[in-house]
A and B are shown apart, each in its own frame.
Chain A
Amino acid sequence: EAGVVQSPRYKIIEKKQPVAFWCNPISGHNTLYWYRQNLGQGPELLIRYENEEAVDDSQLPKDRFSAERLKGVDSTLKIQPAELGDSAVYLCASSLAGENTEAFFGQGTRLTVV
């Protein structure tokens, strides 16, 4: 069974340029998360979807970040324009609906903004 798939694995861009990350969750998982992990830190939530609805986006910097989950399956996270401080690993995770479920993570996208 395929796990959570993310692309690209690595991305290097110049500041002020746009960038987009893609995530395909585990089949049947209604809940999808985007986390950001800075070097030496634990991941922090950016946005959580239940099916196609964003139910927790309080940590998403909405001036430059946007996300969508069309048809409640794949998701895209976009940054426009990117800043130096956005350099981090962006992780996608998915789980079944409900509170007591296990979260599964993808390999992540390492973003470097120069």
Chain B
Amino acid sequence: KQEVTQIPAALSVPEGENLVLNCSFTDSAIYNLQWFRQDPGKGLTSLLLIQSSQREQTSGRLNASLDKSSGRSTLYIAASQPGDSATYLCAVRPTWLGRLYFGRGTQLTVWP
């Protein structure tokens, strides 16, 4: 069974800092990895999708990398803002199954 771990569980930083969220998974046989954002009481918003053949994806201030062989992904957020405060979830899609396996998320707080 695929297991996904996210570190740290919570992170609190001042506005303007660059930060890195980590995701690791136990089985490297994946089709893709997806990063989501979840605001309190809301659903999940897709941030970035990285295919297994890709090394990284960028969208605005967000950059996600994927090292499939070592089972790791990082989400880099540049120049953090209070509006970035949310829970960030990592999910992988194994090759043998059409579902996503999620980590527990990293709860990010960016204070002014």
Contact = CB atoms under 8 A, between A and B. Distances in A.
Interface of A: 4, 6, 31, 33, 40-45, 48, 50, 55-56, 91, 93, 99-100, 102-108, 110
Contact of B4 (A31, A42, A91, A93): A42
Given A91-B43, A102-B46, A104-B46, A45 B36 contact: no
B99 A45 contact: yes
Interface of B: 4, 31-32, 34, 36, 41-46, 49, 51-52, 89, 91, 93, 95, 97-100, 102-105
B99 to A, nearest CB: 4
A73 to B, nearest CB: 19
B8 to A, nearest CB: 14
A50 B41 CA distance: 28
Contacts of A44: 102
Given A99-B95, A107-B42, A108-B42, A45 B100 contact: yes
Contact of A42 (B31, B32, B95, B102): B102
Contact of B44 (A40, A41, A48, A91): A91
Contacts of B105: 42
